[in-house]
Structure formats: C-alpha cells, structure tokens
C-alpha cells in the first residue's frame, strides 16, 4: 500500500524519476527506498544553472529532443527555480544558430509554446520540398 501511495507524495524531478522506473522493478518499500537513494544520493550530482546554459542542440537533433534533454537536466537542478519563460529563453539560446536567427524576433511565453511554434513552422517549411 505504501509503495502505491508513494507517487502521490512526489513532484518535480522525483515524480519524473518515479514514472520512468521500469514496470515491476519495485516490489517492496525497501526496493523503492533503495532505488530512490541510488538515483538521488549515490553518485548523481545536482545540476546547476551553468549545466543548463551550456546545453546546445546537436546538428542531428530535433527541437523536441533538445527541449526534452533540457527538461531532463532541469529536473536534476533540485534547488533551481525558473519560471517557464526563463526556461524557454534558456532553450532558445541553445538552439542551432540557423533556427535562432529565424525566430530571433519572436517572444515565447513558455517552453511548450516555443517548441510548438518552431516545430509547426519547420514541418510547413519541409512540406514543399517533399512534394
């Protein structure tokens, strides 16, 4: 019962960690405690703002994949508090230069808004080439 109710006490990076556990990997509360400590306290170091600032989109990486990678690092910044607009600005700074140049005049109110707008435009720009 405690294992089942544990997830309702989590938020942020702890909840993200919990839902990413493989199915049936936790049977007892002791299993859960061991995995929690292993992930959060043994060898996993807290990420900092500098880790987020250093992230850059790879040439072969989609905007969605880059943003997910940014979110994953942000989830390991346990004491860092950023609002969605600040996170969107960080993501924008890490985009490939040609994408940043294309969207430099636009403001994004949130991370999901920036991903949606950029992805929609990129899909539209590729459609004529496919035809």
d(CA 114, CA 91) in angstroms, rounded, equals 9
Same domain? 96 vs 113: yes
What pLDDT digit, counting tens, does each position of 108-126 carry? 888 888 888 887 665 444 3
Query: What Cα–Cα distance (Å) separates residue 55 from each residue in 10, 43, 48, 58, 118?
Result: 27, 21, 12, 9, 18
Same domain? 33 vs 73: no
Domain containing 106 equals 49-130
Residue 46 CB contacts under 8 Å (≥ 6 apart), including other chains? 76, 77, 78, 79
SS3 26: coil
Same domain? 63 vs 86: yes
Number of domains comprising the chain? 2
Residue 110 CB contacts under 8 Å (≥ 6 apart), including other chains? 84, 85, 87, 88
Same domain? 28 vs 77: no
Residue 103 CB contacts under 8 Å (≥ 6 apart), including other chains? 92, 95, 114, 117, 118
Same domain? 79 vs 56: yes
Same domain? 93 vs 31: no
Query: What Cα–Cα distance (Å) separates residue 3 from each residue in 15, 21, 34, 35, 128?
Result: 13, 13, 12, 12, 52
What pLDDT digit, counting tens, does each position of 52-110 carry? 999 999 999 999 999 999 998 888 887 788 888 999 999 999 999 999 999 988 888 88
Same domain? 53 vs 36: no
Same domain? 31 vs 77: no
Same domain? 64 vs 108: yes
pLDDT band for 130, please (50, 70, 90 cuts). very low
**Tokens 């080439």 appear where?**
129
Same domain? 35 vs 98: no
The dihedral over CA atoms of 11, 15, 17, 23, expressed in degrees to the nearest 10, equals 170
Same domain? 58 vs 89: yes
Same domain? 85 vs 22: no
Q: Model-level pTM greater than 0.85?
A: no
What's the confidence (pLDDT) of residue 43? 54
């Amino acid at each position: 019962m405690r294992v089942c109710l544990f997830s309702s006490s989590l938020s942020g990076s702890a909840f993200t960690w919990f839902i990413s556990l493989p199915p049936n990997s936790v049977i007892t509360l002791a299993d859960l405690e061991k995995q929690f400590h292993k992930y959060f306290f043994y060898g996993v170091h807290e990420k900092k703002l500098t880790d987020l600032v250093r992230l850059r989109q790879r040439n072969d990486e989609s905007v969605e994949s880059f943003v997910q990678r940014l979110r994953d690092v942000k989830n390991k910044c346990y004491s860092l508090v950023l609002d969605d607009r600040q996170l969107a600005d960080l993501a924008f700074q890490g985009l490939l230069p040609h994408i940043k140049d294309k969207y430099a005049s636009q403001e994004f109110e949130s991370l999901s808004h920036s991903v949606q707008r950029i992805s929609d435009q990129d899909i539209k720009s590729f459609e004529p080439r496919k035809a």
